[in-house]
Structure formats: structure tokens, C-alpha cells
């Protein structure tokens, strides 16, 4: 998996919360296969896995190239979270989980790292053994056997065994997300413990081998003993966390105020090559604030020390306080090698009135990127068009070559205009005024043609039914984002549509988001750089109504077929042509109004941290492979910047 960039003009987040189940939630990437040895019976033995070929790191690697193997251990890094939390179990839909509450758990092929990406942040689609020493599988990938390390231990001191792995796998099927369980059961019909430190998974015949070995290798491993002794459930909200085997454990927490994680001095894997130069902070602290305004004031005062900035107005104007001027606080734009998160205004396609594509197109014309960027965002952004913006998989202009041939092979399933017209791109607006009258006229005609006539009261209705919409919005978001959406709503109202921007607190927002109680919502999907069964979780029809990762509830036979074809690709070139077609199809379906993106990641931090230069492509890594400078901290104390 890759790290998503912090959303621009959203309260920046440093992890995904319920997230870790996004683990892979059947991951958008596969950790495919790379063999170190092929025996005569075609059983492949390897220290890691990648689908198409060679692993970057050989079996005798000593550390990842991008880390500082001599990075000192010590100190604390702290960051902010907005809103509230009432649970330390991130795997349940009940409650609002504390930030980073998933970080104590590890998996066979690399832990669930604090970077939010693959364990090796300079590779894409590769996984390396952590709880395992090696894995074996046949050339056809019909099964996989993991041989586990006998010295792996939970923070309680209990050994991590194959029984725990099988228990965790089954726990996710029985008590995890329904969409996840349904997908896994179809693909992984059987798992068995061969001995205390060996486990074997079997895969369904006749299906793509994508996201199978990497899926089972990426499941977080929990303590079977703890769950059986406590009677706890995975699907319940609770403040008691199950023990993990990872480098950090919970130190203290105060509900809705803070969480402190401390590095486990007895961490069993601290000297393994996969961990050299990583997990360098003695503690990681999360400070909670009611909203982004309070959070920023907390950063200025030194209440926390690292901030990923998502508000363009703050980035442009607010970082002129004395600590920045003196150099005590560093303000840095860091490059990212991943496509920006596909964020935007998402239509709930379960709503009858929004199933008309012309209505959605009309609503999109109310968004004026050019005015918004210049007037509210200081010209700092570009407009996003693609679900994999800036990558080789981005669809451009008309389909040609292999992409065209592939689309033509799908016959009548592909709308004629997808073949004959350039790929869908965002409309252009005039930046001089919020309401672009040319686009307003286009929108009005689309609505008229769709049967939504303007009555004597200036409101649109159809067969006596008014066009009324609710736009769900998290009140803890940044003031800039709030202003952007308020202006968008104003333009929609100018079309004669009754629309309400419903600002609710974080707890209500989470509850309504999960139940899809909205017409429109500012939300995101996942970008992609490769194929995987996770694409069905996010964009597929089968679980669209219940999937938390498909906020539009998109159901498209065309999209499903393209994803299936990408899973059957036999080469990188074939995979890329099908994924370009996927980007084209997603943009044709038009279930989201794309907004803006930032090619860099904006961060500010107190000058007591250091990081590798250059950074790896797929992770910022501030909670993973940055480190603490004690002399810098002492200087901050001496200057009064920190207390």
C-alpha cells in the first residue's frame, strides 16, 4: 500500500483511524511475488513477496536504504487530532477509535506501520517477513505456507504463534467488516495450523492470484489467549486494548484529551533488519482538540510539536508567528511520490434524485475551482482530475493503443462516448467572481432538461416534488474548508435547489457517514498505482451499499469488469492499460466532484527532529523513521519555545 497525502484544506490527519483494517483491506496494491529459490517441484521459497518479479532487498539485507541505521533512540513526537474518541479498538464500527490505536499490531509480512504504507517505503508492491522467517508457495500460487519466528512475543511476554494468526484471520471473518469478510471467504476457503509456528492458507481455484498471499500476510495478529480470557469482541467499542507484538504499547490516555504510546523496551524485533533505523521515538503523543482553530493555537503554544498542515490559508498567512521567525519552528514542503488522495464532493448514488448524471453534472458546475483557489486558497493548488493523478495510470485525451483495444474488447458495455470523446476533465470557471454565469446557464439547462423546473417561488421541483439535498459536513474541519463548502452551497442555491450544509460534530459525522445518511458529503476514495482486490472494495458493486470505502455506493458493471480484467493481467503493461481504462471509466461515471490537490506535503515542526534526505517515495515517515535531536530539544527549552 502507499501513503495517502494529507488532504488539502481538510484538518490534516496522520493516520487512517479505522484504518488499519484498510490494511490492506485487501490493499490496493499487491505484495505479489519475488522468489529467491525455485526448486524442481516449483515450490518457491522467499524472505518476502512481490507479484511480478524481484524484490529490491535480498535475503541478507541489513536495513532499508532510506533509513538512518545510526538514528538515535529517544525523545517524543506529538501531533494533534480533532474531535473526540471513545474507544481504543479501531476494528469496530461502533464508537470512534483513538488515533493510532491500531499501531500495536504486526503481521506476517511487515507490521501495520505508522507510515500507513508498506513496510518498505521506497518500494511499491513488496512485503518482507516480520513475524515470519520465510514463506513457501507453488508457482500457481494456489496456497502459501508461512514459517514463523519462534522468538516473536506479545507485549505480555506470551509467544506469537500460528494459532494466533489463524485466530486473527477467523476473527476478522466472524466479527470484522461484512464487506471484508465476504470478499475473503470467497477467495480464501481454508486455513490450517501445521504446527505451532507454521500456518498454511489455501486459495480458491479459478480466480485471480492478486491480493491473496499479501492479504493473509497482512492480517494484524491478535492474542488468542487474551480474547478467550476476556471474552472481548472485535466488533465492540471498548477502551481496553488487546495486547500486540509491535514496537509501541499504550502508556496512558484520557478520553477526548490525549493518548500516549511508549516504545516497548522489550520489543522482540527491535534488531531485525526490517526495523533497523525505525521506531526511534521513546513516545508518541496525540493531543485532542475541538476543532482545527484550537489545534493550531495549541501548536503555536507548544502543546504538540509536529503538524501536517492541510489549510492553505494557514500555510500562506498564519506561519509568521515568532517561533517560525526565530527558526524554532520549521515550515517545510516535502515531496511525495504517490498520487494525491481522490478527495471531493461525493454524491450518494442511493438517492433517486442523484442517479441522473445530468443532475450531478449540474451540481458540479456550481463548484468554482479557479475562484476558490485564488480567493480562499492563495493559488497554492492544482485541480485534480484523475483518480491516480500524475501517475503513468492516469487516462488522458482519447484512448489509444492497448487501452483502446482493451475497451473495444468489452463491446457494448463501454459507452460510445468513452471511445470517441476525450476523458472527462473538470469544467473551467472564471476566477473573477464566485458565480460563473456561463456555467450557471449550463447547469440550469441540464436541470431543465432533466425535468426539474423552476416554480413561481424560484425553487426547482419535478412532478410536485422539490429538489432538496443535505450536504453532511464535519464541524471540526478547517475554517477554510468550511468557507469553500459554504460558497459551493451558495452557488447550488442560486440554481433554485434547496440544499442545506449540515455541520455536525465528529461523533455524529462518523455515525452518519457509516450509515450513509447524506445526499452529498466531502469525502475521499483511494488512489491506486496497481491492481488488487481492494479495488472491488472501494469501487465495486457487490458491497457498494455497505462498504465504508465506497461513500458514493457506486455500482457499475463497466467498472466491475475492468477491475476483474486488471486482476487477470499477465504483465505490467497489460495491468497498466486496464488501470488507465479504469481511471477513464471512474471519471465517466461521475460520482464525485473533484476538487484540488497539493503536489507536496506541508509540515511544520519544532526544530528537534531530523529525517532522511531524500525521503522515500511512498511515505513521509515522521512517526516511523524520523528521529529526535536531543541538542535541538535542549535549545528549544533554553529559548523558551518549549517548556
Q: Assess contact for 378 and 316: CB atoms under 8 A.
A: yes
Residue 643 lies in a domain: no
Task: Determine the structural domain holding residue 146 and report its residue range.
Answer: 17-263
Query: What are the distances in angstroms from CA 79 to CA 105, 116, 281, 319?
Result: 21, 16, 13, 17
Residue 300 lies in a domain: no
The whole-number average pLDDT for the span 24-39 is 38
pLDDT at 54: 80
Residue 55 lies in a domain: yes
Q: How far apart are CA 271 and CA 624, in angstroms?
A: 15
The answer on pLDDT for 29 being more than 60 is no
**CATH number of 382's domain:** 3.10.105.10
Q: 364 with 460, same domain?
A: yes
CA 451 to chain centre: 38
**CATH number of 244's domain:** 3.40.190.10
Q: Which among 11, 7, 15, 19 is positioned nearest to 476, based on CA atoms?
A: 11
Number of domains in the chain: 2
Q: How far apart are CA 144 and CA 109, in angstroms?
A: 12
Q: Which residue bears the cell 506501520?
A: 113
Residue 96 lies in a domain: yes
Residue 313 lies in a domain: no
Q: Is the pTM of this model over 0.75?
A: yes
Q: 385 with 525, same domain?
A: yes
Q: 459 with 585, same domain?
A: yes
Q: 74 with 216, same domain?
A: yes
How does pLDDT run across 366-404, given as a tens digit for each residue? Answer: 999 999 999 999 999 999 999 999 999 999 999 999 999
How does pLDDT run across 160-217, given as a tens digit for each residue? Answer: 999 999 999 999 999 998 878 888 999 999 999 999 999 999 999 999 999 899 999 9
Q: How far apart are CA 246 and CA 264, in angstroms?
A: 8
Q: Looking at 564, 580, 597, which one is the last position of a domain? A: 597
The whole-number average pLDDT for the span 430-449 is 97
How does pLDDT run across 255-281, given as a tens digit for each residue? Answer: 999 999 999 999 999 999 999 999 999
Q: Assess contact for 46 and 106: CB atoms under 8 A.
A: no
Q: Which among 503, 482, 501, 481 is positioned nearest to 493, based on CA atoms?
A: 501
Amino acid at each position: 500500500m502507499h501513503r495517502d497525502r494529507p488532504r488539502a484544506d481538510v484538518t490534516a490527519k496522520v493516520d487512517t483511524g479505522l484504518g488499519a483494517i484498510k490494511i490492506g483491506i485487501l490493499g490496493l496494491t499487491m505484495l505479489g511475488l519475488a522468489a529467491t529459490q525455485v526448486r524442481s517441484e516449483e515450490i518457491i521459497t522467499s524472505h518476502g513477496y512481490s507479484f511480478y518479479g524481484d524484490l529490491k532487498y535480498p535475503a541478507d539485507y541489513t536495513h532499508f536504504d532510506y533509513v538512518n541505521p545510526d538514528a538515535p533512540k529517544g525523545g517524543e513526537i506529538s501531533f494533534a487530532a480533532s474531535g473526540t474518541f471513545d474507544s481504543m479498538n479501531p476494528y469496530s464500527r461502533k464508537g470512534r477509535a483513538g488515533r493510532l490505536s491500531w499501531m500495536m499490531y504486526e503481521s506476517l509480512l511487515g507490521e501495520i506501520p505508522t507510515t500507513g504504507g508498506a513496510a518498505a517505503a521506497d518500494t511499491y508492491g513488496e512485503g518482507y517477513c516480520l513475524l515470519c522467517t520465510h514463506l513457501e508457495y507453488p508457482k500457481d500460487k494456489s496456497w502459501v505456507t508461512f514459517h514463523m519466528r519462534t522468538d516473536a512475543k506479545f507485549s505480555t511476554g506470551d509467544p506469537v504463534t500460528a494459532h494466533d494468526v489463524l485466530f486473527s484471520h477467523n476473527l476478522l471473518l466472524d466479527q470484522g467488516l461484512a464487506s471484508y469478510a465476504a470478499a475473503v471467504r470467497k477467495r480464501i476457503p481454508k486455513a490450517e495450523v501445521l504446527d505451532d509456528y507454521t500456518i498454511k492458507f489455501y486459495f480458491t481455484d479459478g480466480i485471480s492470484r492478486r491480493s491473496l498471499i499479501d492479504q493473509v500476510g497482512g492480517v494484524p495478529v491478535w492474542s488468542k489467549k487474551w480474547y478467550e480470557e476476556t471474552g472481548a469482541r472485535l466488533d465492540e467499542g471498548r477502551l481496553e486494548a488487546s495486547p500486540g507484538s509491535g514496537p509501541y504499547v499504550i502508556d496512558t490516555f484520557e478520553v477526548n484529551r490525549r493518548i500516549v504510546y511508549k516504545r516497548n523496551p522489550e520489543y522482540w524485533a527491535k534488531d531485525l533488519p526490517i526495523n533497523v533505523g525505525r521506531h526511534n521515538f521513546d513516545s508518541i503523543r496525540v493531543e485532542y482538540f475541538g476543532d482545527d482553530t484550537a489545534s493550531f493555537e495549541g501548536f503555536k503554544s507548544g502543546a504538540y510539536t509536529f503538524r501536517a498542515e492541510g489549510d492553505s490559508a494557514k500555510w500562506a498567512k498564519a506561519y509568521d508567528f515568532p517561533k517560525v521567525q526565530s527558526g524554532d519552528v520549521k515550515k517545510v514542503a516535502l515531496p511525495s511520490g504517490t498520487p494525491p488522495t481522490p478527495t471531493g464532493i461525493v454524491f450518494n448514488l442511493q438517492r433517486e434524485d442523484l442517479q441522473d448524471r445530468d443532475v450531478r453534472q449540474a451540481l458540479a458546475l456550481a463548484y468554482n475551482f479557479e475562484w476558490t483557489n485564488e480567493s480562499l486558497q492563495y493559488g497554492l493548488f492544482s485541480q485534480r482530475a484523475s483518480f491516480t493523478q500524475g501517475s503513468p495510470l492516469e487516462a488522458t485525451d482519447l484512448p489509444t493503443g492497448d487501452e483502446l483495444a482493451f475497451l473495444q474488447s468489452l463491446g457494448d458495455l463501454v459507452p460510445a462516448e468513452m471511445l470517441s470523446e476525450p476523458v472527462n476533465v473538470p469544467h473551467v470557471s472564471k476566477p473573477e467572481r464566485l458565480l460563473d454565469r456561463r456555467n450557471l446557464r449550463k447547469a440550469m439547462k441540464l436541470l431543465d432538461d432533466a425535468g426539474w423546473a423552476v416554480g413561481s417561488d424560484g425553487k426547482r421541483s419535478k412532478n410536485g416534488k422539490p429538489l432538496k439535498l443535505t450536504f453532511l459536513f464535519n464541524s471540526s474541519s478547517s475554517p477554510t474548508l468550511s468557507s469553500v463548502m459554504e460558497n459551493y452551497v451558495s452557488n447550488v442555491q442560486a440554481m433554485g435547489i434547496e440544499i442545506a450544509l449540515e455541520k455536525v460534530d465528529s461523533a455524529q459525522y462518523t455515525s452518519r457517514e457509516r450509515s450513509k445518511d447524506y445526499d452529498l458529503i466531502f469525502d475521499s476514495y483511494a488512489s491506486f498505482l496497481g491492481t488488487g482486490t481492494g479495488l472491488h472494495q472501494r469501487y465495486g458493486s457487490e458491497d457498494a451499499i455497505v462498504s465504508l470505502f465506497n461513500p458514493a455506493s457506486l455500482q457499475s458493471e463497466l467498472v466491475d469488469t475492468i477491475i476483474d480484467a486488471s486482476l487477470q493481467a499477465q504483465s505490467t503493461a497489460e495491468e497498466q492499460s486496464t488501470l488507465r481504462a479504469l481511471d477513464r471509466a471512474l471519471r465517466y461515471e461521475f460520482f464525485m466532484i473533484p476538487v484540488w490537490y497539493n503536489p507536496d506535503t506541508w509540515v511544520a515542526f519544532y526544530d528537534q527532529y531530523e529525517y532522511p534526505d531524500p525521503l522515500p517515495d511512498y511515505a513521509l515517515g515522521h512517526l516511523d523513521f524520523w528521529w529526535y535531536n536531543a541538542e535541538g530539544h535542549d535549545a528549544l527549552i533554553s529559548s523558551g519555545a518549549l517548556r
